[in-house]
Amino acid sequence: MRRSRRPGAERVRTEGRRWAGRVRGLVLLAVVGVLVAGAPAGAAAVLAPGAAAGPAEPVAAADVGAGAGSAPAALTSPRWAWPVLPPRVVGAFAAPPTPYAAGHRGIDLVTTPEHPVTAPADATVRFAGVVVDRPVLTLDHGGGVLSSYEPLATELVAGQPVARGAPIGRLASGGHCAASCLHVGVRVDAAYVSPLLFFDTVPPSVLLPLGDG
């Protein structure tokens, strides 16, 4: 004998499915909210210069150039020009796991002793002097973006403006680059980021020989 479905039981099952769908939707919204709240709002702008995540005005950031929904002004400007030509990367950026851990906080561009170096973009000299064992020049591009070059002999002084493509010094000696490469570092709100995010195109890396044999 075939049993007939009770209307009350069918309503319960229907309501149960409806509430299950609502709960799943609420859980999904909660997960998305946690992910959005936990992620640095300006990180996307730093990873993709030129595409601001919000208003272009600079704001303070707590991570790798992260801001409260906007990108540093320098990131919305045209890509930077290379400070030495032709650009050949011989040392890649390696972000340290913690702010004070070991890492390679920039890139190394192969060049020759006393090779002229030019400004990648309009800026103001933030620092020019010797750090430990090598001469360093730091440029302020605005919006919390700084670029540094070492070892670089320069006659520029702090506060002096420089234009894109203008000479800023010549390759010197000291540091891990000695006189064979130029180390270029970029900081966004005091946090180091890959300089390749800012430059015009990514040049091919150069593999150097390990030695004889």
Lowest mean pLDDT among 15-29, 47-61, 76-90, 123-137: 47-61
175 and 87 in a common domain: yes
pLDDT of residue 157: 97
pLDDT of residue 200: 82
The full length of the chain comes to 213
pLDDT of residue 175: 84
- Give the type of residue at 87: P
104 touches 91 (CB < 8 A): yes
Rounded to whole angstroms, the Cα distance separating 153 from 65 reads 29
130 and 52 in a common domain: no
The answer as to whether 209 is a domain residue is no
Structural tokens at position 208: 């150097």
For 12-21, how does the pLDDT look when each residue is reduced to its tens digit (9 = 90+)? 455 545 544 5
181 touches 108 (CB < 8 A): yes
187 and 110 in a common domain: yes
Contacts of 111 (CB under 8 A, 6+ apart): 84, 171, 180, 181, 182
User: Which of the four pLDDT bands, split at 50, 70 and 90, describes residue 187?
Assistant: very high
168 and 72 in a common domain: no
28 and 49 in a common domain: no
User: Which of the four pLDDT bands, split at 50, 70 and 90, describes residue 72?
Assistant: low
> What is the extent of the structural domain holding 138?
79-197
Q: Is the pTM of this model over 0.85?
A: no
Q: What is the mean pLDDT of residues 19-42?
A: 40
Strands of 143-188, DSSP E: 145-150, 152-153, 161-162, 167-171, 181-188
For 121-173, how does the pLDDT look when each residue is reduced to its tens digit (9 = 90+)? 999 999 999 999 899 999 999 999 999 999 999 999 999 999 999 999 999 99
Closest listed residue to residue 128, CA positions, set 120, 118, 138, 119: 138
Task: Identify the bridge partners of residue 140 per DSSP, sorted by sequence position.
Answer: 124, 146
49 and 9 in a common domain: no
Structural domains counted in the chain? 3
The alpha helices in the chain, defined as continuous H runs, are 7-38, 43-47
Q: What is the mean pLDDT of residues 25-44?
A: 38
CATH code, domain carrying 101: 2.70.70.10
Give the HSE-up count for residue 66: Cα atoms under 13 Å, Cβ half-sphere: 10
3-state DSSP assignment of residue 53:
coil
60 and 116 in a common domain: no
CA end-to-end distance (rounded Å), the chain: 90
83 and 177 in a common domain: yes
Rounded to whole angstroms, the Cα distance separating 4 from 42 reads 60
93 and 134 in a common domain: yes
Mean pLDDT across the chain: 72
pLDDT of residue 197: 93
Structural tokens at position 100: 């004070």
pLDDT of residue 62: 28
pLDDT of residue 189: 95
Cβ-based neighbour number of residue 206 at 10 Å = 13
Per-residue pLDDT at 203 exceeds 70? no
The answer as to whether 205 is a domain residue is no
Rounded to whole angstroms, the Cα distance separating 110 from 206 reads 9
For 86-124, how does the pLDDT look when each residue is reduced to its tens digit (9 = 90+)? 999 999 999 888 878 888 999 999 999 999 999 999 999
136 touches 168 (CB < 8 A): no
